[in-house]
Amino acid sequence: MDAEPSAATSSDARLPAVQLFTDGACSGNPGPGGWAYILRHPQTGTQREGSGGLAETTNNQMELQAVIEGLAALKRRSQVEIITDSTYVAKGSSEWMPNWKKNGWRRREKSSWKPVMNVEFWKRLDELLQQHDCRFTIVKGHAGHAENERCDVLAVAAAKQFA
* Residues that are catalytic: 23-24, 63, 85, 142, 152
Please measure the distance between the N-terminal and C-terminal CA atoms of the chain and give it in whole angstroms.
Answer: 34
Cα separation, 160 vs 163, in Å, equals: 5
Question: Which pairs with CB-CB distance under 8 Å and at least 24 residues apart come from 101-109?
Answer: 101/126
Cα separation, 29 vs 39, in Å, equals: 27
